[in-house]
Structure 1
């Protein structure tokens, strides 16, 4: 077995508490690495075709990687992979914490949960195997409170990933959390909740050695030094919230459900002002030297971890400028266990519906912080209007009808992050075609838009190339796994990542092989979605973005035409070796290793 791996996944059927081991052949590990890549392979093998994401037989996989447990900075990450109850397609969500290290050191490259417990339970995994314990006393608690209670009960060394009340109640964008970090997008907390599992607790029981410990240590020292450089300065000093004023200045801050791209009151929410008045701490994830986490004081004596995406989604997108309301809303999402982007996107859609008279909710208006908090509470409880909004904007729009789907800002069911596609047209393509849906982490094409190397207002062939390149880089980083905040420190990414992988595994891997691995992972995700009902129409954007031009502060009109998007999507399909309907040709599907023989 190569260094950094155990070569097996633990399969736990919580219906009866039975556990078994699935052997992971070396070609599969080398072909998919770990994290999101290996999770994709596991879902192909273990998920029944067209399975309901909330059915007992739907698998949920916690997937580790070869770099976890090494001293390489930012490597303490894990992927949670399942079929999304929000999109009905493949979803992988990443989190950074000590759970990744302890989970891997149970002696497994992945822990897969299937079945449904008869009563609320916690799954324990350690050197003795897997077992279930009662969770009645922590059911209903926020994830952080449940984690504290369980650690106090189980003892030192246990690490706990838990869901909040929203996951228990099946909110389709519920999160899964450990130590305040969240596997946030796509509703994987609801998948665990549907299994009557409140939490998974892990305890390290063994060790795994790299192939060349001295080389790994030298690489870790070098990477650590580079991680303190200018490429990560923004994250250390102000965090990702530093993007808010920048995006506002260049007309790419989605506002009031994407009816505008600037927010007049953005300075009230900017890191430059809030940090001085409200920042109470700056923290780092496990095994991280960057320290991007910024904690601010919210209302009621609470604190909130602040990033650009949660402030965008609960602030400008909903027209809310009151810092107390936005920070309190962010803390409320964490308590309930819901994704801030999908929560903000769905509430913004509902605000527009209410103002148009499509929903009987006169209390729900843009700019009203109290209304935002009420909506979040109702979503978390699944009562009142929340029973509808807990389904996400796509399903809610199908119920409301009357043209509301045109301004439900989602792709494949996943609500859009804080990037305006009409003024970032490489990103527009990335949002349209990504397997997870509207996502900025699996398709970081905004990097190309903001680089100045192409015209971000006019999509074309260069935007296609940029989308493919950023998607490939993300596929490798999410499978190794390394934090994307490190991406700027690598001057020759694939070659440098191959070097790290060589020192850990002993494989003679090079940049060319890793580029092929990236393409394999991206294609395997698409193949899974095809199996689950993907159609060519799913690689598209909402009507508002294609039919409603934006008038910018300069007077310039920004628009994205259906013809431009069509040409870019077709170009992307061709670049990926897909046919004219976006489906893999037989030639490009032969190297996916999806039929690799394994033993249980």
Structure 2
């Protein structure tokens, strides 16, 4: 019998010309307790069910939709799921979290994960419910945005079905295409391209029944307490201004990457700031499914309509590309949603192309920093994979720079192939370490080391031992939150996080779990991610930062220059390995790989 909150199995769906072959992969209580769900369980499943060295876009490459024990409970922010696969952008593990009713309906098909393999002959949709699974052709969805496709699917199958859908970019194999649902996105690493390579426009799920918990009354009491705490000061910023509140704050402390990381401040930041837009353009606030925080802020667009805006899409399509007109940034963000593009990788890749064009390395004289219409034109080319520029940029900045050559690799700003989010590593050196060692590549969600940089408790311009400790600690906390799964915006609500998370898991699962066990679980999950990447060819040499970051200083508004040398970074990486108990080549203990593939 499965623990409370679980069904004890993953449903494996092999799609082919003949339809779909369905099998159950039993998940014992020991596996569930070891990896929890979400990203942790997804890593275990990928190691177990994915062939070593597989091409991420090959039919046999698995794509896993993974749920958690908390999904379907009244605990706030728990309606989340993870999508886990080998990334076509990095060639390594990628996982993305998203919130929507898809999470609840997907779990309530009676499974802890849905693992998709194979390839349909024609563009199709995959439907899964308690009665089984089937594939149906859907040629009419070709070229539609995710939102438009969802409308068609609701009409065709009924509102009882919840859909995870790709846009045109996913169909065309753009290596940073997203999977979308209810207007939200599993964004990073090209998961949409993986689904598109299987000739699936959408996966639809329909709920049936409930997932039993161990102590329903105790779960309800915990949910009431967490909901009340979620309205406190720790989440006030997100409720009042959303994540876009970071823009002016980051600009003030010279950590807002600008024009492809050639600067750390942006003169046009005030025009894009939440404070300005809140007064002039805010039309609504919204929440994810089962969320009491309500961080989503929706702004009016020029010419009508509205757009959800967050810090990362504004950074990537604004300062990163030198664009300060909010109408252009809003339009670019809407374009990425329509095409199904990760805004961070899209903005980072276009910014690299703008620099190439300005240096005369690309024969695209129209492509210049600060030109909003040029940004929109480039995004259209990417989404269409149009010959020339579109095909080049659809590959991401690492592959594009390798193809273009001419020294352009030196200013392609990525880690392991994943473009950097909106944090300047030279002025946030704990975060710089977090980017370098992270399993997903440059990432601010799986390593929250920026919290230490912004705390004032350490010198963020001089990475050393305290920065290493911060990187390890925030990565461990993220590993548990991403596997339970809970929203990161709740992190400030917990004063003793591991103990408090154990208190949430006990009444759901019935496990006698405590803080020490969860700390060990966090380390196990981080080690398992590392073991998977090593199996796929990663080495210690990949744990680094872009040449631009390690060879060029960046000016700060204070008049100082910030610099992060390769030697300093290498010293922090070595200390990070030691803190994790890995060897000098970044290899976890030898029993980790076998433990994740049993």
Structure 2 residue aligned with 1:303: 306
**Deviation at 1:279?**
1.5
2:445 maps to 1:441: yes
In the other structure, the counterpart of 1:487 is 491
Describe the superposition over 1:169-219 as per-residue Cα deviations: whole angstroms up to 9, x where unpaired: 000000001001100000000000000000000000121111000000000
1:230 aligns with 2:229: no
- Is the alpha carbon distance of 1:47 and 1:301 closer, same or farther for their aligned partners in structure 2, counting shifts above 3 Å? same
**Equivalent-residue separation in structure 2 for 1:380 and 1:302 (angstroms):** 22
Which of residues 120, 136, 141 is equivalent to 1:138?
141
Task: Between 281-290 and 545-554, report the one with greater CA deviation.
Answer: 545-554
Residue of structure 2 in register with 1:272 after alignment: 275
How far apart, CA to CA, are the structure 2 residues paired with 1:342 and 1:206?
Answer: 39
Equivalent residue for 1:577? Answer: 581
1:303, CA displacement in angstroms?
Answer: 2.0
- Report the counterpart of residue 93 of structure 2 in structure 1: 90
Structure 1 residues 155 and 489: CA distance shift in structure 2, 3 A: same
| TM-score of the aligned structures, taking structure 2 as reference length | 0.98
Contact 1:520/1:592 (<8 A) preserved? no
Q: Which residue matches 1:10?
A: 11
- Summarize deviations over 1:96-133 as a string: whole Å, max 9, x none: 00000000000000000000000111000112110011
2:293 maps to 1:290:
yes
Conservation of the 8 A alpha-carbon contact between 2:242 and 2:296:
yes
100-109 or 273-282: bigger deviation: 273-282
Equivalent position of 1:454 in the other structure: 458
Structure 1's consecutive aligned runs of 4 or more residues displaced over 3 angstroms after TM superposition are 589-592
CA distance in 2, matches of 1:407, 1:94: 29
- Maintained 8 Å contact 1:524/1:592: no
Task: Trace 1:37-436 onto structure 2 (pairs within 5 A).
Answer: 37-383=40-386, 384-436=388-440
Is it true that 1:478 corresponds to 2:479 in the alignment? no
Distance (Å, rounded) in 1 between the aligned partners of 2:574 and 2:181: 40
State the 1:595 CA deviation: 4.1
Distance 1:139 1:226 in 2: 45
Counterpart of 1:502 (choices 495, 506, 521) is 506
Any idea what SS the aligned residue of 1:14 has?
Answer: strand
Paired residues of 2:439 and 2:529 also in contact (CA < 8 A): yes
Would you say the 8 A contact 2:531–2:592 is kept in 1? no
Give the match's secondary structure for 2:96: strand
Matched residues in 2 for 1:199 and 1:299: separation? 31
SS in 2 for 1:207: coil
- Higher mean alpha-carbon deviation, 570-579 vs 216-225, is at 570-579
Aligned pair partner of 2:524 in 494, 516, 520 = 520
- Give the SS at the match of 2:307: strand
Secondary structure of the 1:254 match is: coil
Q: How far, CA to CA, are the matches of 2:158 and 2:211 in structure 1?
A: 23
Change (3 A) 1:150 1:297: same
The structural deviation recorded for 1:300 is 3.9
Helix, strand or coil for the counterpart of 2:595?
Answer: coil
Distance 1:273 1:157, change over 3 A: same
Q: Secondary structure at the match of 1:529?
A: helix
CA distance in 2, matches of 1:293, 1:197: 29
**Residue ranges of structure 2 left out of the alignment (5+ in a row):** none
Distance, in Å, in 1 between the alignment partners of 2:408 and 2:502 is: 47
Q: Is the 8 A contact 1:422 1:550 kept in 2?
A: yes
Q: Aligned equivalents of 1:147 and 1:585: distance in 2?
A: 45
Unaligned ranges ≥5, structure 1: none
Q: Contact 2:540/2:586 (CA < 8 Å) preserved in 1?
A: yes
Count of aligned pairs between the two proteins: 594
Q: Which of 520, 537, 540 lines up with 1:536 in the alignment? A: 540
SS at match of 1:301: coil
1:510-551, Cα deviation, whole Å (9 max, x unpaired): 000000000000010010000100011110001111111112
The aligned residue for residue 555 of structure 2 is 551
Q: Over residues 219-255 of structure 1, what are the superposed CA-to-partner deviations in whole Å (9 max), with x where a residue is unaligned?
A: 0000000000000001111100000000000000000
